[in-house]
Amino acid sequence: MTRKTPTFLEPSELAARVDDPQLCVVDLSSWDNYLQGHVPEAVNLDVAALQTSEPPVMGLMPGTDALCRVLAEVGIAPDTHIVAYDDANGPKAGRLLYTLAVLGHERVSVLDGGLVAWREEGNLIERQAEVPRGASYAAKASSDVVATRGYILDHLKDPDVVLLDVRSPDEYAGRDLRASRGGHIPGAINVEWNRTLDYNRNLRLRPAAELRAMFEAAGITPDREIVTYCQSHMRSSHTFAVLRALGYTRLRGYPGSWSDWGNNPDTPVES
């Protein structure tokens, strides 16, 4: 399927459309950072509103009704084109894109390079908080892009399903312990999420050909189903967006991620 809405949008493309009434620019930075400067017309959304927790498990999906209320409050309607960015080089924006994918909302883009590229390339910055205009939002959640712990357990030996662990190599190996157990899901392939960023181009994505080569060399091929995970499905939401931009169509994310798997005493672990 060819997507009409680009998964990543260039700053110049956003600058040309920033006054479009069908566009909602969403800044997922902290409130303080938002007030220090943001894209004109951008509304602020706390990424915590897109998640819930059952400690020690973090990064779970809230109920559909709760998500619809959050989206409506910031002015997102079912036909709105959302452009998201954050102050963390993309993972928070990725989490919004992933959330909207679960709700079947396709008209969403991540600002390529985020606020860094926007600022560095001379675009206008505002410091006054934007008042959300409000909207009405209704949707039904789909499980097509969600991988649960049970789903992964059922597919651990399925050669058609690839687990992509986008945490740091130290987290993957269990040297950086962030749950009751360290390591990774058996068979998971490690490609750290920030390897997709080009630090010489204001944190845009690296060229598509380079990204495809990197993922395919690791066994992350578009003919297989890819399940992305990290610690709480923030960094891996960004990777979900990157793979979508590269044309991968069989994608799932694992809400809860390692905070779910690594804190469960009955799940198998490799290190």
Is 68 noted as a catalytic residue in this protein? no
Q: Angle CA(247)–CA(251)–CA(255) in degrees, nearest 5?
A: 140
The CA-based diameter of the chain, rounded to the nearest angstrom, is 52
Residue tagged active-site, from 230, 241, 242, 251: 230
Determine the Cα–Cα distance for residues 59 and 98; give it in Å rounded to an integer: 12
Structure tokens at 190: 């490690």
Pairing of strands 251-253, 225-229: parallel
27, 34 contact by CB (below 8 A): yes
Among 109, 87, 68, 114, which Cα is nearest to 28's?
87
Angle between helical axes of 235-245 and 91-102 (0-180°, round to 10): 70
Between the two ends of the chain, the Cα-to-Cα distance in Å is 37
| Burial of 235 (C-beta count, 10 Å sphere; 0-12/13-18/19+) | buried
Q: Is 261 helix (H, G, I), strand (E, B) or coil?
A: helix
Residues paired with 135 in a beta bridge: none
Q: Is 271 helix (H, G, I), strand (E, B) or coil?
A: coil
Structure tokens at 165: 């662990």
Determine the Cα–Cα distance for residues 222 and 207; give it in Å rounded to an integer: 17
Active site members: 230
